[in-house]
Amino acid sequence: MAFNSIEFLYFLLIAVGVHQLCRPSLRLPWLLACSYYFYAQWNHIYLWLIVLSTFIDYTCAIYIEKQKPWAKFWLGVSLCSNLGMLFFFKYYGFFSEIVLDLTTLLNRPFYTPILNVLLPVGISFYTFQTMSYSIDVYRGKIKAEKHFIKFAVYVASFPQLVAGPIERASHLLPQMDRIYRINTSDAVSGLRLIGWGLFKKVVVADRLSAYVEYVLSDHSQPHSIQVFLAGFWAIVVLYADFSGYADIAIGSARMVGLHLRDNFNFPYFSRSIQDFWKRWHMSLHSWFLDYVYFPLGGSRVPWSRLMMNIAIVFLLSGLWHGASWNFVIWAMLHAVFVVFHMHFMKVCKFFNIDFGEGFFVRLFGSLMVQAQWAFSMYFFFVDEVHRSLYLLKCLVTSPLSLEGVKLFPFPPFVVLLCFFATFCLYWGEWMHLRKAWPERLAQMSLGRRWACYYVIIFTIMIIGVETQNPFIYFQF
């Protein structure tokens, strides 16, 4: 059941409607039932995987708190169970290929059993969420939750179950104690976020993804201009798709009385690649900071160790996204970008060079961030390394002449829609950055405000892609 489907609309209306009618003591069980039903629509067999993960972490956290001498043991049980499930379903095939390649080099090929299992939707998200809970209980930052249903809702609440944000127990669990009937403010803000998220997904991401897939697919021999446009539109597709999901998730959560953290903070308007990673997928970024980067020593280590810490974090981030060499290369490219920027800023500080905060400085920084991100997209959106390298070769070696080259394999009207969708996304984000849309709308008259709502609704209905393309981060 995708967020961009009519089935989800019906589901959300029923979930919110019954939630409003329920007594306070029944709202959590109802939300849990809705969440399990929502996930079972993907694959009801894997629903038991979430139930098992929930039960293990719930039990381990209680024993971590009760049996202090055995706290490390119970933490190990929790982490091993989560990482074990993640490895089995997501990484077994990838590491089997690595073992086979290494043993083949030694003339002793070792073949591991082939497992034809589907990747459970959202497993990377909810395993990281439950691991953070167990670690925080072990560190003494939070108390172990004794109410099983409350903890189960924390793990499996349907708005953020499939693709985040990755919530912390310290933020979400206290909300379960006072889950309330939806008020007018939450209803309005939730519907706005859902509308804007759907606009990003069906008007921007799905409209542009056809061109990106056409150029980056194995069946095309693209011109350099096509490769360039595909790289730029790939970053638009990825942001519109993922941030669109986050907007719908946050808006849907507000409809049932939960407030999730923001997952994006205008990343493409960042001044540097370092600043970008503080604004992009913020819940995952903060997870790696708290549970990997800082335990490794953070930035309070010698320079060589710092670079190694950055490389480890980005390597794990790449593997979190997918079990393939393309994601590893994509992640390490960004590690190189970050380290290079840190070196550059260190040199500037040594020579007392200050670029200031002017408009053109910010514009140049934003363009550089998007150029670096677009360069990495040739590995993010492509399954095979050789195809990625071929695209980079086409980017620099294609002939200057456009004779016989069809830049756009679509009718002119569709091409105009692609550029229009790109403009709308950047314009909307820029206006929101300067002044938040809720404040802008609050200052408008009632007629102008509803005119804006109708424009978004009709744009989704008329320009939006009708096919229900899955969200990109569902595969992670």
| Residue keyed to tokens 């695209």 | 391
Q: How far is residue 102's CA from residue 29's CA, in Å, rounded to a whole number?
A: 50
Q: How far is residue 248's CA from residue 191's CA, in Å, rounded to a whole number?
A: 9
Q: Phi first, then psi: what are they for 307, rounded to 5°?
A: -60, -35
Q: Is 23 exposed, middle or buried (0-12, 13-18, 19+ CB in 10 A)?
A: exposed
Rounded to the nearest angstrom, the gap between the alpha carbon of residue 78 and the centroid of all alpha carbons in its chain is 24
Alpha-carbon distances of 140 from 71, 72, 144, 163, 167, rounded to whole Å: 11, 13, 9, 28, 18
CA angle 336, 339, 341 (to 5 degrees): 105
Give catalytic status of residue 321 as yes or no. yes
Q: How far is residue 372's CA from residue 358's CA, in Å, rounded to a whole number?
A: 21
Query: E strands within 34-128?
Result: none
Alpha-carbon distances of 275 from 178, 266, 369, rounded to whole Å: 35, 10, 9
- Say if residues 53 and 82 touch (Cβ distance below 8 Å): yes
Q: How far is residue 385's CA from residue 325's CA, in Å, rounded to a whole number?
A: 7
Question: Which of 76, 82, 114 has its CA nearest to residue 96?
Answer: 114
- Find all residues with CB under 8 Å of 49, minimum gap 6, and list them: 85, 120, 123
Question: Which of 169, 259, 248 has its CA nearest to residue 4?
Answer: 248
| Residue keyed to tokens 């070792």 | 110
Report how far apart the first and last C-alpha atoms of the chain are (Å, whole number): 16
Q: What is the dihedral of CA 206, 209, 210, 213, to 10 degrees?
A: -150
Q: Which of 321, 334, 343, 432 is catalytic?
A: 321
Question: Which of 433, 428, 450, 454 has its CA nearest to residue 441?
Answer: 450
CA dihedral for 226, 231, 234, 236, sign (positive or negative): negative
| Residue keyed to tokens 């539109």 | 233
Question: Which of 420, 461, 53, 456 has its CA nearest to residue 204?
Answer: 420
The maximal CA–CA distance of the chain, rounded, in angstroms, is 76
| Residue keyed to tokens 């991100």 | 373
What residues are labeled active site? 321
